[in-house]
């Protein structure tokens, strides 16, 4: 076996931009309290897990899943209150839906836009598909920089604009009037990514009535089903029909379909857990004020963004990990995120451990 030859083959055949690209980083959380990925920290009550297992026993693993997933879609439609004139498209997480949308619009000189700092997969997937990604920086308060945004839309004519509401990793909502102005200025599709909608009063589904070129995306990940991988895209059937042609026929497996239907049938449990996360978020927000942090931003999501003393983010991250708590270090990922850490809201016990770990960090 000649490793030089293998390397030459890789160099020759794998796309140069992929060779240069770093894979999406997923650090090991073994033995750590995991507060880095916006998961719901709660599991289901024992009786509910037993009932779920009973449901799964009936699932036919020898058959392909329902390709249309009509029953699951009907349950989701009812849960979200989506009217009959709109359709749903399901993805293996909203990550897959982002990929499908971008595949549908990709082509030479096609541009995808999103405010920055934002969800990293918008930029990464655009790169995978040879789309030009244009990020438009938020202002210093993480609000949309309207003059710059409108000017960039005019200049770049983006095929798709992604707007995450609340935004990850800043945790805030932008004004509805600003969102409307962006949508009205957009020549192509606009996707409002409501991944964190369960943790805020805000909900933009109603905007579908006003804008033909708007799509709304949600996920079951943040309400406690991150392991299941189910994302949902909603909008006019004419758009979804086109995007659906790119979907692999059996992308939502039988276990996901059955489990998601079961979970939607027990949504009160998920809603109660979500409410607990929201009240913990407020408690954690207040408790963080007592630490020598430069800044703690308010949040409409299930995480909090904080700024450590200057130049300390990496040291605080390492110290938290040494104390058994994994958070996300965002320092270096964008100038506006200098010295920033993102803290997912956990259980009261996990948040106490986080606060204890943070209190040992160097000021």
Q: Which residues bind ligand PMP (CB under 6 A)?
A: 38, 93-95, 119, 164, 168, 193, 195, 219, 221, 226, 231
Judged by beta carbon, residue 40 or residue 312, the one nearer ligand PMP is 40
Contact indicator for 134, 152 with CB cutoff of 8 Å: yes
* Shortest distance in whole angstroms from residue 254 CB to ligand PMP: 19
Closer residue to ligand PMP in complex, CB, 192/361:
192
Strand-strand pairing, 231-235 and 214-219: antiparallel
Would you state the structure tokens that stand for residue 160, as one six-digit string? 């798709």
Closer by beta carbon to ligand PMP, 196 or else 312: 196
Closest distance to ligand PMP from the beta carbon of 133 (Å): 15
Q: How far is the CB of 96 from ligand PMP (least distance, A)?
A: 7
- Quick count: other Cβ atoms within 10 Å of Cβ 207? 16
- Nearest residue by C-beta to ligand PMP? 93
Q: Given the complex with ligand PMP, which of 127 and 309 has the nearer CB atom?
A: 127
Question: By C-beta, is 221 or 274 nearer to ligand PMP?
Answer: 221
- CA dist., res. 288 & res. 270, Å (int): 26
Closer residue to ligand PMP, CB minimum distance, 173 or 195: 195
How far are the Cα atoms of 142, 263, 335 from residue 21, in angstroms, in the given order?
Answer: 28, 37, 21
Minimum CB–partner distance for residue 312 and ligand PMP (Å): 25
Residue 178 Cβ, how far from ligand PMP at the closest point, in Å? Answer: 18
CB of 231 to ligand PMP, least distance (A): 4
251 or 361: whose CB is closer to ligand PMP? 251
How near is the Cβ of 272 to ligand PMP at its closest, in Å?
21
- What is the closest distance, in whole angstroms, from the C-beta atom of residue 244 to ligand PMP in the complex? 18
Of 158 and 231, which CB lies nearer to ligand PMP in the complex structure? 231
């Amino acid at each position: 076996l000649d490793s030089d030859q293998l390397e030459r083959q890789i160099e020759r055949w794998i796309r140069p931009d992929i060779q240069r690209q770093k894979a999406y980083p997923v650090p090991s959380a073994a033995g750590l309290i995991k507060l880095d990925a916006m998961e719901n920290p709660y599991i289901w009550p024992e009786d509910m897990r037993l009932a779920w297992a009973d449901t799964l026993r009936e699932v036919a693993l020898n058959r392909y899943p329902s390709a249309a997933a009509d029953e699951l879609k009907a349950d989701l439609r009812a849960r979200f209150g989506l009217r009959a004139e709109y359709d749903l498209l399901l993805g293996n997480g909203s990550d897959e839906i982002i990929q499908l949308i971008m595949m549908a619009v990709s082509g030479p000189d096609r541009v995808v836009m999103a405010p920055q700092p934002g969800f990293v997969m918008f930029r990464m997937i655009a790169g995978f598909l040879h789309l030009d990604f244009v990020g438009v920086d938020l202002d210093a308060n993480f609000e949309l920089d309207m003059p710059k945004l409108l000017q960039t839309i005019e200049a770049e004519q983006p095929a798709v604009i992604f707007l995450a509401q609340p935004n990850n990793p800043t945790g805030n909502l932008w004004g509805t009037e600003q969102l409307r102005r962006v949508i009205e200025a957009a020549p192509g599709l606009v996707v409002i990514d409501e991944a964190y909608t369960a943790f805020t009063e805000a909900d933009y589904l109603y905007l579908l009535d006003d804008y033909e070129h708007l799509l709304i995306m949600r996920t079951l990940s943040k309400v406690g089903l991150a392991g299941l991988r189910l994302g949902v895209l909603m909008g006019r059937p004419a758009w979804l029909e086109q995007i659906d042609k790119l979907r692999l026929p059996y992308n939502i497996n039988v276990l996901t379909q059955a489990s998601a239907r079961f979970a939607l049938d027990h949504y009160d449990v998920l809603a109660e857990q979500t409410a607990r996360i929201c009240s913990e978020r407020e408690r954690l927000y207040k408790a963080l004020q007592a630490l020598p942090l430069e800044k703690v931003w308010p949040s409409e999501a299930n995480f909090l963004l904080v700024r450590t003393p200057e130049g300390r983010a990496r040291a605080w991250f390492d110290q938290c990990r040494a104390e058994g708590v994994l958070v996300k270090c965002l320092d270096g990922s964008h100038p506006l995120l200098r010295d920033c850490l993102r803290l997912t809201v956990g259980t009261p016990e996990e948040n106490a451990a986080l606060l204890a770990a943070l209190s040992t960090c160097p000021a």
